[in-house]
Amino acid sequence: MCGITAYCGNDEALPFLLQGLEKLEYRGYDSAGITILDKSLTTVKCKGRLQLLVDELEKYDLKGHVGIGHTRWATHGIPSHLNSHPHTNDKNTLSLVHNGIIENYRELKEELVNKGYHFQSETDSEVVVHLLDSYYQGNLLKAVQKVLERIEGSYALCILSTRHPDEIIVTKKDSPLVIGKTKNASVAASDIPALLAYTKEVYFIEDNEIAILKANQIHFYDQKGKEITKESSIIPYDIDAARKNGYDTFMLKEIYEQPYAIKETLRGRIQNETILFEELKNIDFLQFNKVYFVACGTAYHACLCGAQILERITHLPVLTQVASEFRYNDPIIDEHTLTIFVSQSGETADTLGALRLAKEKKASTIAITNVLGSTISRDADYVLYTCAGPEIAVASTKAYTTQLILLMLFAYYIAQELHLTVNTKAILQLQQVPWYIEKILEDACQFKEYATMLKDKHDAYFIGRSLDYASVLEGALKLKEVSYIHADAYVAGELKHGPIALIEEGSVVIAVATQPHIASKTISNIQETIARGADVILLTTNHYQVKNVENIYYLPNVEPTLQSILTAIPLQLIAYYSACIRGCDVDKPRNLAKSVTVE
Ligand code: F6R
């Protein structure tokens, strides 16, 4: 989730590029850079925040009417000066910025190195500039088209060439890019906020369409290079709303980003029915006799789910523990234990403490995190990344579902490596999860209505069994975090052992019943709460007969192991709308911080 900006006009390019990058910094920032074209290309880049680039630029007297800029959120290669964008070719005649992931960069890199190209960085993006150089024969548009035929993955690209000094070529696939027109210039950026101080008139291009930006005009081309026309649109909102992409809050924006975040996390991981985790290829999974999952909060709930699935598939003993307990409970682990630490931020003190303990005890360690270069990613023996992009809202949503999908893939990967029978239907269905989530999001008003049931309540009870129990734990956490309603999650079978004493007329019970081997039992438990006056909201699938429940939402029928990802969406939206109805500050709940770096 990098930010990119481009300017081709009659005024100086730099002010536009920098103000745009500043507006995009919320998307992530571990380095930033710009290239200005003025006969030759001058590229200045810096590791760290944008302000460091601004300070660095004071040493230059950069003038030029054409330029590109980038603020990076690392995915391939640690945050560093060399890995920062823009990337240039050996002759310094081409420069480009890229947002996205080039999946086949390893093959392309090998091919280009064999042709004599020199790579400066560890990034996937750099292959694009050298590939472009290798195809360029006087026509930049044609060279870009050829590049698009070769690269796989997601991209938004802005390209400069000294041979075409009055233009910028831009294109995209599965990665956002918006083009704007001002009186004096054509501009582009990965996100609308970067444009709004200059123009509200914008053009959107489809995947693999190409645009050539010139100071006074913009030419659009389809995939085959045929010129096409585009209508402009007017952005109806201001910068603050635009940062939230038109959503009222970051939390809602991030809930709606889940289909995209999951697609990005899955990208390049499944080939036919085979799961690829290049990063783990040196691990011999036969050496382990036990697996531990360790995390905090929402990440812990993702682990509960991942652990159950792993145990079911591999029959290895799998334990899950909250990091603050694990680190002080003297866990029985050794070199035959695989320990997995899950953390969105990669900086949570308890999870880091637990990881260090595991290393002291010689266990193998894998970190799963959303932040490249984070402490956990540096400290663990191996690291896997979720690709949720920066999560701004304190309550975790897209980080959770990307953790779930990665943990599911990981479980199937271990089974594959152990030569066990793998549920290929589930693997293939994993790829349809983004589509199913989109369908559920279309029903948002239904969850808003359920939320009204909680408006004046002090308590809510969540129940589920098996994987559904992990889901309701997360549902209850989300509700209490953002709406301040006291919410507890119970294993449905435990109700009769105590909690049912709390149920009375008007109590709200939110139940999840999606797991075929146990759903009917949960549905019976629901009846016990209804008999005591509870108002029930049930999330289930249409496999089961349910009586007396007015508020039933039928989730899509998918493989049982995948249901938890789908279940998360209604639970997030119920929590979200409950908080809104109660007038809570959804993005910044009281007493909470995004990254908990203290014990
Ligand atoms: C809840 C939430 C927290 C975090 C927890 C761990 O919405 O965000 O419970 O999940 O603090 O944080 P990370 O994943 O950064 O280690």
**Residue-wise pLDDT tens digits, 274-292:** 999 999 999 999 999 999 9
Phi/psi-derived region of residue 310, left when phi > 0, alpha when psi is between -120 and 50, beta in every other case:
alpha
Nearest CA to ligand 1 atom 3: 297
Lowest mean pLDDT among 35-44, 104-113, 538-547: 538-547
**What is the 346 CA–ligand 1 centroid distance (Å)?**
10
Half-sphere exposure of 59 (CA within 13 A, CB side): 8
Alpha carbon distance 247, 254 (integer Å): 9
Residue 69's nearest CA partner among 19, 123, 143, 11 is 19
- Which pTM value belongs to this model? 0.78
The pLDDT value recorded for residue 595 is 67
Residue 159: pLDDT band by 50, 70, 90 thresholds? very high
Q: Hey, which of 298, 321, 327, 355 would you mutate to test ligand 1's pocket, going by the most ligand atoms within 8 Å of its Cβ?
A: 298
Alpha carbon distance 462, 512 (integer Å): 8
Selected catalytic residue, list 200, 359, 457, 594: 594
**What is the 387 CA–ligand 1 centroid distance (Å)?**
16
Average pLDDT of the chain to the nearest whole number: 93
Half-sphere exposure of 364 (CA within 13 A, CB side): 17
* Mean pLDDT (whole number) for 309-326: 96
**Nearest ligand 1 atom to alpha carbon 298:** 10
Alpha carbon distance 453, 144 (integer Å): 55
Alpha carbon distance 346, 341 (integer Å): 9
Q: Which two tokens stand for residue 52?
A: 């460091």
**What is the 297 CA–ligand 1 centroid distance (Å)?**
5
Q: Which residues contact 328 (CB under 8 A, 6 or more apart)?
A: none
Lowest mean pLDDT among 40-54, 129-143, 207-221, 483-497: 40-54
Nearest CA to ligand 1 atom 9: 297
**Nearest ligand 1 atom to alpha carbon 344:** 14
Q: Which residues contact 457 (CB under 8 A, 6 or more apart)?
A: 485, 506, 508
Residue 475 predicted with pLDDT over 80: yes
Q: Give the residue with greater pLDDT, 154 vs 366.
A: 366
Annotation says 594 is catalytic: yes
**Nearest ligand 1 atom to alpha carbon 297:** 9
Residue 358: pLDDT band by 50, 70, 90 thresholds? very high
CA distances from residue 81 to 47, 59, 77, 495, 586 in whole angstroms, order as listed: 5, 17, 11, 57, 36
Give per-residue burial for 264-295: e unless 16+ CB within 10 Å, then b. bbbbbbbeeeebebeebeebebeebebbbbbb
**What is the 502 CA–ligand 1 centroid distance (Å)?**
29
Is 190's C-beta closer than 6 angstroms to any atom of ligand 1?
Answer: no
Alpha carbon distance 71, 76 (integer Å): 14
The pLDDT value recorded for residue 422 is 86
**What is the 376 CA–ligand 1 centroid distance (Å)?**
14
Is 386's C-beta closer than 6 angstroms to any atom of ligand 1?
Answer: no
Share of the chain above pLDDT 90, in %: 79
Share of the chain above pLDDT 70, in %: 97
Residue 4 predicted with pLDDT over 70: yes
Q: Label the pairing between strands 364-369 and 153-161.
A: unpaired
Residue 169's nearest CA partner among 224, 121, 194, 132 is 132
Alpha carbon distance 543, 296 (integer Å): 34
The pLDDT value recorded for residue 256 is 97
* Mean pLDDT (whole number) for 333-350: 95
The pLDDT value recorded for residue 54 is 93
- Tens of pLDDT, residue by residue over 401-460, are 999 999 999 999 999 999 998 888 999 999 999 999 999 999 999 999 999 999 999 999
**Nearest ligand 1 atom to alpha carbon 399:** 14
Alpha carbon distance 412, 309 (integer Å): 9
Alpha carbon distance 435, 348 (integer Å): 32
